[in-house]
Amino acid sequence: MNQRSSLRWGANFFFFCAALIGAQLSSPQALAKEQCPFGTWLSGETCCEPGSEYVASKNQCMPVRPERRCAMGHLDDCVAAARNLEQHGKVGEGYAVELYRFACEEGHAPGCRGLAQLYEDGRGVERDGRRALSLWEEDAPSCTILAHLLTKQGAVDSRVLTLLAMGCHRGDATACGEYADNIATHATAQKSTVVSYLERACSGGVGSACRALIASERSDKALSPARERELLSRACEAKDAEACTLLGQASYSAPRREIQRKD
């Protein structure tokens, strides 16, 4: 080997060693020896951004599985990932805000509720009670939740009734039943209005509302046995234990009444 070839071989070997050392220094194991920078966390001996994890087969940080599915349009996974991120301090909360916002903007109610709560608490975003309230009011179950919160604070007034009515007309059967219960105590309330909201609640699967209808129709002497069985059946299907018991008793006593009539 002449001197020129020897020098060329030596230079190539030097560059190969330098590249190898550089690769080792940038490897996950090398990074793990250093403290992860602010805004990142340790995953598989690698510093990754919150919401991502080290995937050995890809040799890189990738979004955690729920977030990958979120990016594909699975909005329940956006909410699941956001709830997980909420547990990881300010950085995680900031990412949670974006995931909740994405799901909310796509019309996913749980995403709106999660975003509303973060606005209310001022976590991951500047506290904004008005924004939280507007998000809650856009969602039927959230109207009911907000009404409950106001009730706990002692604010049993027209605001609570308005929220329950909004929740009912947006499809929350529980709100229909609670609205009926609330206005029934008002002297100015029309019975027909109370009954109409109880009907909505009963049809939506609120067993107690079906039983309330039975009591109302019985007091008006307008309840037939067939109607009673129908309402009890609907309540029992809604897993109302008391209605199931009453339905069983009614079913048992009906044949006995028929036998007594024949006798």
Q: What is the pLDDT of residues 7-20, one digit of tens each?
A: 454 444 344 333 33
**Residue 23: per-residue pLDDT:** 39
| Exposed/middle/buried for residue 130 (C-beta within 10 Å: 0-12, 13-18, 19+) | exposed
Tell me what pLDDT residue 11 has.
44
The DSSP bridge partners found for residue 61 are 54
Alpha-carbon span 169 to 190, nearest angstrom: 18
Instruction: For residue 195, name the pLDDT band (cuts at 50, 70, 90).
Output: very high
pLDDT of 88 strictly over 70: yes
Instruction: Report the run of H or E that residue 55 belongs to, with start and end.
Output: strand 52-55
pLDDT score for 134: 79
Higher pLDDT, 237 or 110: 237
Provide the mean pLDDT of the chain: 76
pLDDT tier at 142, thresholds 50, 70, 90: low
| Contact residues for 95 (Cβ-Cβ < 8 A; gap 6+) | 50, 51, 82, 85, 124
DSSP state of 185: T
CA atoms within 13 A on the CB side of 211: 16
| Higher-scoring residue by pLDDT: 242, 257 | 242
Query: In 3D, which of 171, 173, 197, 175 has the Cα closest to residue 184?
Result: 197
Residue 1 · residue 9 · CB < 8 Å? yes
pLDDT (average), residues 71-96? 83
Average pLDDT of span 137-162:
72
Which of 81, 119, 88 lies closest to 103 in space, CA to CA?
A: 81
Helix/strand/coil (H/E/C) assignment for every residue in 61-114: EEECHHHHHHHCCCHHHHHHHHHHHCCCHHHHHHHHHHHHHHHHHCCCHHHHHH
Q: Does the pLDDT of residue 52 top 80, yes or no?
A: no
74 has pLDDT over 70: yes
Can you tell me the distance from the alpha carbon of 262 to that of 41, in angstroms, rounded to the nearest whole number?
81
pLDDT, position 34: 55
CA–CA separation, 53 and 104 (whole Å) = 25
Q: Are 75 and 46 in contact (CB under 8 A)?
A: no
pLDDT at 210: 92
Over range 50-73, report the average pLDDT.
75
Percentage of the residues of the chain whose pLDDT score is greater than 90: 14
| 28 has pLDDT over 60 | no
Residue 123 has pLDDT above 60, yes or no: yes
Mean pLDDT in residue range 169-173:
79
Asked if residues 102 and 70 have their Cβ atoms less than 8 Å apart, the reply is yes
Greatest mean pLDDT among 43-52, 66-75, 77-86, 134-143: 77-86
191: Cα within 13 Å, side-chain hemisphere: 7
Q: How far is CA 222 from CA 185, 215, 233, in A?
A: 22, 10, 18
Question: Does position 36 have pLDDT exceeding 70, yes or no?
Answer: yes
Residues near 91 by Cβ (< 8 Å), separated by ≥ 6? 38, 39, 50
**Which has the higher per-residue pLDDT, 214 or 172?**
214
Residue 118's pLDDT is what? 92
Q: 49-135: which CATH topology?
A: 1.25.40
Nearest to residue 85, comparing CAs of 107, 72, 103, 73? Answer: 103
Rounded to an integer, what distance in angstroms lies between the CA atom of residue 83 and that of residue 87?
7
